[in-house]
Each structure stands twice: as C-alpha cells, then as structure tokens.
A and B are shown apart, each in its own frame.
Chain A
Amino acid sequence: MELREDQLERYSRQMFLPNIGGEGQKKILNAKVLIIGAGGLGSPCALYLASAGVGGIGLVDSDVVELSNLQRQIVHSTEAVGKSKVESAKKTINGINPDVEVVLYNFRVTSQNILNVIKNYDIVVDGSDNFPTKYLVNDACVLANKPLSHGGMSKFDGQLTTILPRQSACYRCFFPEPPPPGLVPDSQEAGILGAVAGVIGTLQANEVLKFILGVGNLLAGKLLVFNSLDANFRQVKVPKDPNCPLCGDNPSITELIDY
C-alpha cells in the first residue's frame, strides 16, 4: 500500500514522529477499531481515531441523539437530535476524514451477538453507559482474546485501563461482580462534566493508537484514575488475580452472562 499525496499531507504531523513514519501510518490505516457506545467516551475517542486515519471504525449504539447528550457527546450536533447516534457519528467522522470506513451496529450488544461483532476488529473500546454492558464487553473480550480499552466516569472523576486478555488484569480481576443495583448512582443522580468524558475518551484513543503502533507503555495492569477537581491523575496497579472468576486459574465464568 502506497500513501496518496493527500494522505501524506493530512498525516504529516504525526508521521514526523520518530515512532510512526510511513510504516506506522500504514498500521493506523490498516487498523480496525470497534467502539461500543457513541456517547460521552465514544465521541472524543472516535474523533481522534478518525483524524489519525484509523481505516475501519465500528460503532455500536442503539440510541437516538437527545438534546441533553450534546453537553458531552461531541460527535453529535444539534441538527442530529432525534436521529440515530451511529448515523450521526458516521456523518461527523466522514466529514473529518472520508477515508475511514465506518461500520454501524444500530443495536445493543448481548451475549448472543457480541462475539460476532468483536471478531472483525483488532481492539475494542468500551464507552458504554451501564454496568451490564461493561461486564459483557469485558467477558466477551477476555473469552475471545480481544484487547480492550475500558473507560468509566462519574461526576468529576474518570478512570481507564487497557486489558490484554490473559496477559494483564481484566475488569473482573478488580471488580469481580457488578455493584449492587442502585448503590452506584448513574448520572440521573450523579451528573457528569463533559470535559471529564473528553479527557477519558481521548486517553482511550491514545491507548488504541499506542496499541496499533506498538509503541510506549499501555495501561495494562494499571487503572488510571482522573480527578478533575484536584486536576490529578493516579495510577493504581491492578495485578492479574489468579482467583479472578473470568481469567483466573479456575474460572467460574466460562460463557457470557446478560445481567
């Protein structure tokens, strides 16, 4: 594959980087990334991956754009209110970079369909908005041996980790079971600052690009916790748990669960 003239110009600022160059850019152009959730985390992540030239982006979301989404879901515009989120995101992505092949999955992932969706991709980004999906995505990625960037946020805080199945800790190594329903508030009670979603989703894009390029140190075995009020980041080490119900030595979870 030879880079076109316009591609050389479009990607020149990142191709100047010592670890990227023409070879790295080709890796990015050939990469396929699945983003689950075209919302607060998925928006900035999708925008930066598209800008960088990721060749294939899959988007999973069954919702339509609502006015109250726009405070943080920056891939959508006011005119998209009432339209499907995946269609809206595709329009924005291809507006920035028409080379990106965007594949739309206008449904919810379930234990029945998720393995079929993730199998076509090099890495998965979890930008979902609820714990049942977060556990389903983690379990599916570990069982299918698919790298995963996990992100979450609440109020003024956010966190992310990168999961290399069976090599580094999975989400269950840390949080073995979903929290009791109702105890961990969603934004109905908690709210969320849009810029926090931007920070975490952008860091997820950063992890994906490092993974594609094979450069730097991934957040594997580490949870990066961001607190926007103190403007501080902490890395919490997450060892792989030999007793993990999913990726441990004697796993009790061997098939997908819909919570």
Chain B
Amino acid sequence: MVNIYLNGKKKDIEEGMNISDLLFVNRIRPEVVVVEVNEKIIERNKYKDTILIADDKVEFVYYMGGGERELGLVKHVLEFIGNKYTFD
C-alpha cells in the first residue's frame, strides 16, 4: 500500500497505480475533472504514465457551473423523493 493525499484526505492506494487507475477506482470519468499532482496540472494524455508514489498530493478539481438551471427540476423532485404524484 502507498499513502497519498486525495483532495486533502489521506488515502491508501495499491502500489504502482497511475492516475487513470485512481480515477477508475473512484468511478470518476476523466472528462469531468482536472487532475493536479503536487500542484502541477497533469495533461490527460499523461495519466497512464503518471505513477503515484507515497505522499503525493492529488487534487481532483471538478468543473462547477452555477447550479442554477432548473427547468424540469420541479417536475422531477416528487419522482425523486419517491412520490408518484406528478404535476405540470
């Protein structure tokens, strides 16, 4: 096991893991994040070659919009909370 820091939290990972592996085990699609290792942005085509070692500080930084678009939310929320009732 190797101890790294993922988004500030200590995490044990298997030895020899690269960034693609780390994204895969965390079920994160590479398209939705930017990955920084030790304060350097890693280009996507280098993910497989970037093997993580002890004490690496890895940041997954997500795209964040405004959280505002909500057409449809009102229609979905009842379904979402488990109520069959719908309205328009």
Chain B 32-74 near chain A by CB (<8 Å), digits 1 or 0: 1010100111000000000000000001011111111111111
- Check A68 against B59 for contact (C-beta < 8 Å): no
Q: List, in ascending order, chain A residues with CB within 8 A of B39's CB.
A: 236-237, 239
Within the complex, what minimum Cβ distance (angstroms) separates A205 from chain B?
Answer: 16
**B63 near A184: Cβ-Cβ < 8 Å:** yes
Q: Are B61 and A236 in contact (CB under 8 A)?
A: yes
- Tell me if A223 and B61 are in contact (CB < 8 A): yes
- Say whether B68 contacts A184, CB under 8 Å: no
> B10 within 8 Å of A by Cβ?
no
Question: Which of A26-34, A76-84, A154-162 forms contacts with chain B?
Answer: A154-162
A259: which B residues are within 8 A, CB to CB?
none
Q: A179-B32, A184-B32, A236-B36 are in contact. Are A157 and B73 (CB under 8 A)?
A: no
Q: How large is the interface on B (under 10, 10 to 19, 20 to 34, 35 or more residues)?
A: 20 to 34
A193 nearest in chain B by CB position: B67
Q: Please indicate the chain B residues that have their CB under 8 angstroms from the CB of A152 in the complex.
A: 63-67
**In the complex the two chains form, is A159's CB within 8 Å of B64's CB?**
yes
Q: Decide: A197 and B73 in contact? CB cutoff 8 A.
A: no
Please determine whether B61 and A174 come into contact, CB atoms closer than 8 angstroms.
Answer: yes
Task: Kindly list chain A residues whose C-beta atoms are within 8 Å of the C-beta of B70.
Answer: 66, 68-69, 186-188
Task: Give every chain B residue within 8 A of A239 (Cβ-Cβ).
Answer: 39-41
Shortest Cβ gap from A148 to chain B (Å): 15
Min CB gap A228→B, angstroms: 12
Q: Which residue of A lies closest to B9 (CB)?
A: A230
Contacting residues, chain B, for A40 (C-beta < 8 A): 66-68
Interface stretch, picked from A88-96, A125-133, A208-216, is: A125-133
Q: Tell me, yes or no, whether B88 is within 8 Å of chain A by CB.
A: no
Chain A residue nearest in CB terms to B69 = A186
CB contact under 8 A between A129 and B67, given known A154-B62, A237-B39: yes
Asked whether any CB of chain B lies closer than 8 Å to the CB of A16, the reply is no
Residues on B with beta carbons closer than 8 Å to the beta carbon of A183: 29, 31-32
A234 interface hit (Cβ, 8 Å): yes
CB atoms of A197 and B67 under 8 A apart: yes
Contact B34 A129 (CB under 8 A): no
Instruction: Collect the chain A residues with CB atoms within 8 Å of residue B74's CB.
Output: 68
**CB under 8 Å from chain B, chain A span 119-176:** 127-131, 134, 152-155, 157-159, 174-175
Contact between chains at A129 and B7 (CB < 8 Å)? no
The 0/1 profile, CB within 8 Å of B marked 1, for residues 43-61 of chain A is 0000000000000000000
Inter-chain contacts of A236 with B (CB < 8 A): 36, 39, 59, 61
| Shortest Cβ distance from residue B73 to the other chain A in the assembled complex, whole angstroms | 5
**Chain B residues near A241 (CB, 8 Å)?**
41
Query: Which of B32, B61, B68, B76 has the largest count of A CB atoms less than 10 A from its CB?
Result: B68
Chosen A-B contacts, 25 in total, with CB atoms closer than 8 Å, are A39-B68, A40-B66, A40-B68, A68-B70, A127-B66, A129-B66, A129-B68, A130-B65, A131-B63, A131-B65, A152-B67, A153-B64, A154-B65, A154-B67, A174-B34, A178-B63, A179-B31, A187-B69, A187-B73, A188-B69, A197-B67, A236-B59, A237-B39, A239-B40, A241-B41
5 tightest Cβ-Cβ pairs between the two chains A and B: A129-B68, A129-B66, A152-B64, A192-B67, A186-B69
